[in-house]
Structure 1
Amino acid sequence: MSKKALIFGISGQDGSLLAAHLLKGGYAIHGTSRDKELGIFANLQRLGIRDRVALHSVDPADFGSVLRVISETTPDEIYNLASQSSVGLSFDQPIQTLESTIFSAHNIVDSVHRLKLSSRVYNACSSECFGNTDLPADEATPFSPRSPYGVGKAAAFWTVANYRDAYGLFACSGLLFNHDSPLRPQRFVTRKIVAGAADIAEKKTDSLRIGNLHISRDFGWAPEYVEAMAMMLRADAPEDFVIATGQTNTLESFVREAFSYFGLDWERHIDFDESLLRPIDLKCNSANPAKAKRILGWEAKLFMKDVVRLLADGELDYRAAKARL
């Protein structure tokens, strides 16, 4: 009998990629959206799996709603990928960010506990929990979040850890560093950069406005990261893991690589825009993913230059598909 997975937040980048990955493994997939009748589910459509997923209307911040869908589906695995996912937007919507992030994690683990299920739970956390990292962060690095998004993710991390320790749940959190794919919305700076370079190459515009180019991040490929999520729930014991490439690059180097792909000199087209700066931003966010390699056998195969190339290939494919419509 095939395993059942319930993915909260299935319409986002990670939710859709995870659904596609698990379907290849023979899973029956259930996914949630706040209103399945109004949802477009463009990412599921783009991956060609929309008709292979059973959708449920659920508000992750509402306990009764979460309890009902878990009781009805009795999944073997639960993935919490639901919450506001933009660090920048969290400064404009701090309360909504905190509520969606903390309540969704609590409602899921509390439902599994109350229903006395053996479901294994994965909770999506973030490198933003660490704040600035002078040394590469690992699972023992103290949290020092610098955004409402990071504060919410840190609280969700400890909520899951407390339920694991108090009630013996198989529940764990993935501390994922930046990871991208063509399914990212353009409000994310990596997709914005690639799309902007493509626009300039097509002579739709001549410049791209960007904020701080001197920040450093660990840039990874999202399809690899969802594989790590699934591996965490197949481990012998529930543990938290840093998931990252282990390589750090400045945003300026990402821009240079993206513009080079399109045959452009980035310095001729990038305009600094102070209004795009966050109230607080991380100067450096670096990672040590050695534990994931040692225990899960997971390690990144694609790095920043690969990510840029794949994002640019995906951008051109997307534009070509739109042109054929």
Structure 2
Amino acid sequence: MTKTALITGVTGQDGYYLSRFLLQKGYRVVGLILPQRQSSLAKLGSLVNKLEIYAVDLSDSRVLSGLLEQVQPQEIYHLAAPSFVPDSWNDPLATLDVIAGTTTRLLMAIRQAGLATRFYQASSSEMFGQVERSPQDENTPFRPLNPYATAKLHAHWTMVHYRQRYGLFACSGILYNHESPRRPTQFVSRKVCLAAAAIKLGISDRLEIGNLEAKRDWGYAGDYVESMWQMLQQEKPEDYVIGTGKLHSVKELVATAFECVGLDWTRYVVVNPNLVRSDEHFLLAANSKKAKQKLQWQPQLSFDNLLEKMVLKDLERLQNGTIVTSVKS
């Protein structure tokens, strides 16, 4: 029997890689998008022709319940969320509803429809926030530092409560930073890679950056979506920390990306204090021992190869004229 997977946030970075992965597994893949975001389907390219797409208001519990009864998914991957953390300060209440409210409505819909659907909640390392030790595992206390992280924590605990109280097969992946050529340009990884490519081609002459000493645990999104699927194939639902466990500074990120195109980064990079995050954290690194043991999951693409992949793709886009964007700020 063909399995049906439903993905919220299907046009995002993770939605794309997860859709591609599940199609290769022989799944029927149903993607949900907001009615006002239908233009974003273009980001899926030719993949969109292989998916079933529904434009749905995720704030409407009745509509969600009806859709689940219609689609009858064996698996739900709830990825929809505003992903750029600093923006959550602009509208904390909307951030809370989009992240935690939608999670709650989906869990309610599964229960009300009486489905045996397995549910994946996209949690975030941002929930750990102000950590006292590194690396972090599934038992590390949560101390969120921003509205995005707080909303993710609300959604995470709601998922846990539904699992414990109602016996739903619900779990979360606490994912660390994961990048790809499909990352939006406001994220530092893609911003740096695009700038390196633009400077190489003479389109730009500098890159403004914030804190060069900030460190991240960066991995490849294509690797991380496999862990989501693996979690829903287990005998019982559990939560897992997913990351590489290796910290790299923004300075290393910049140096490596510019090296991919044969440039000395120090000639082009300008530090702009206004770009420094006030809720910066330096010690968020994953201890993914549980995922490696129980899921047999391992990150495959190295930090250097990931950046090379991103820079070369941006070079291609700029040369083909398929991307026009500011890379200075």
Q: TM-score, normalised by structure 1?
A: 0.95
Alignment-derived partner of residue 18 in structure 1: 18
What is the rounded CA distance, in whole Å, between the counterparts of 1:132 and 1:285 in structure 2?
A: 9
Q: C-alpha deviations, 1:76-98, integer Å up to 9, x for none?
A: 00010011111121122322211
Deviation at 1:118, TM superposition (A): 0.1
Deviation at 1:70, TM superposition (A): 1.2
What secondary structure, in the 3-state scheme, does the structure 2 residue paired with 1:41 have? Answer: helix
Alignment-derived partner of residue 288 in structure 2: 289
Q: Identify which of 104, 107, 132 aligns with 2:105.
A: 107
What is the rounded CA distance, in whole Å, between the counterparts of 2:320 and 2:232 in structure 1?
A: 36
What secondary structure, in the 3-state scheme, does the structure 2 residue paired with 1:7 have? Answer: strand
Alignment-derived partner of residue 73 in structure 1: 71
What is the rounded CA distance, in whole Å, between the counterparts of 2:43 and 2:227 in structure 1?
A: 20
Question: What is the number of residues matched between the two proteins?
Answer: 322
Q: 1:72 to 1:323 in 2, by over 3 A?
A: closer
What is the rounded CA distance, in whole Å, between the counterparts of 1:222 and 1:29 in structure 2?
A: 19
Q: 1:27 to 1:152 in 2, by over 3 A?
A: same
Question: Which letter maps to 2:268?
Answer: H
1:31-180 maps to which residues of 2 (within 5 A)?
31-35=31-35, 38-45=38-45, 48-133=46-131, 134-180=133-179
Alignment-derived partner of residue 264 in structure 1: 263
Question: Which letter maps to 2:220?
Answer: W
Which region of structure 1 is more displaced relative to structure 2, 276-285 or 11-20?
276-285
Question: Which letter maps to 1:177?
Answer: Y
Deviation at 1:60, TM superposition (A): 2.0
Equivalent residues of 2:198, 2:318 under 8 A apart: no
Deviation at 1:302, TM superposition (A): 1.8
Question: Which letter maps to 1:262?
Answer: V
What is the rounded CA distance, in whole Å, between the counterparts of 1:255 and 1:65 in structure 2?
A: 45
What secondary structure, in the 3-state scheme, does the structure 1 residue paired with 2:32 have? Answer: strand
Alignment-derived partner of residue 197 in structure 1: 196
CA RMSD of aligned residues (A): 1.5
Alignment-derived partner of residue 279 in structure 1: 278
Q: 1:132 to 1:59 in 2, by over 3 A?
A: same
Deviation at 1:225, TM superposition (A): 0.5
What secondary structure, in the 3-state scheme, does the structure 2 residue paired with 1:97 have? Answer: helix
Alignment-derived partner of residue 218 in structure 2: 219
Q: 1:36 to 1:72 in 2, by over 3 A?
A: farther
What is the rounded CA distance, in whole Å, between the counterparts of 1:294 and 1:171 in structure 2?
A: 20
What is the rounded CA distance, in whole Å, between the counterparts of 1:264 and 1:72 in structure 2?
A: 54
What is the rounded CA distance, in whole Å, between the counterparts of 1:207 and 1:155 in structure 2?
A: 40
What is the rounded CA distance, in whole Å, between the counterparts of 1:168 and 1:323 in structure 2?
A: 48
Alignment-derived partner of residue 307 in structure 2: 308
Deviation at 1:271, TM superposition (A): 1.0
Question: Which letter maps to 1:312?
Answer: V
What is the rounded CA distance, in whole Å, between the counterparts of 2:321 and 2:229 in structure 1?
A: 32
Deviation at 1:50, TM superposition (A): 0.8
Q: C-alpha deviations, 1:136-172, integer Å up to 9, x for none?
A: 0100001011111111111111000000000000000
Quote the sequence identity (%): 38
What is the rounded CA distance, in whole Å, between the counterparts of 2:149 and 2:229 in structure 1?
A: 23
Which region of structure 1 is more displaced relative to structure 2, 50-59 or 287-296?
50-59
Q: C-alpha deviations, 1:214-252, integer Å up to 9, x for none?
A: 111111000010111011100111000011111111111
Q: TM-score, normalised by structure 2?
A: 0.94
Equivalent residues of 1:132, 1:283 under 8 A apart: no
What secondary structure, in the 3-state scheme, does the structure 2 residue paired with 1:10 have? Answer: coil
Alignment-derived partner of residue 6 in structure 1: 6
Equivalent residues of 1:219, 1:307 under 8 A apart: no
Equivalent residues of 1:221, 1:307 under 8 A apart: yes
What is the rounded CA distance, in whole Å, between the counterparts of 1:61 and 1:276 in structure 2?
A: 33
Question: Which letter maps to 2:115?
Answer: L
What is the rounded CA distance, in whole Å, between the counterparts of 1:73 and 1:180 in structure 2?
A: 31
What is the rounded CA distance, in whole Å, between the counterparts of 1:37 and 1:215 in structure 2?
A: 33
Equivalent residues of 2:135, 2:283 under 8 A apart: no
Q: 1:36 to 1:5 in 2, by over 3 A?
A: farther
What is the rounded CA distance, in whole Å, between the counterparts of 1:38 and 1:265 in structure 2?
A: 41
What is the rounded CA distance, in whole Å, between the counterparts of 1:42 and 1:321 in structure 2?
A: 17
Question: Which letter maps to 1:104?
Answer: T
What is the rounded CA distance, in whole Å, between the counterparts of 1:192 and 1:109 in structure 2?
A: 36
What secondary structure, in the 3-state scheme, does the structure 1 residue paired with 2:38 have? Answer: coil
What secondary structure, in the 3-state scheme, does the structure 1 residue paired with 2:35 have? Answer: coil
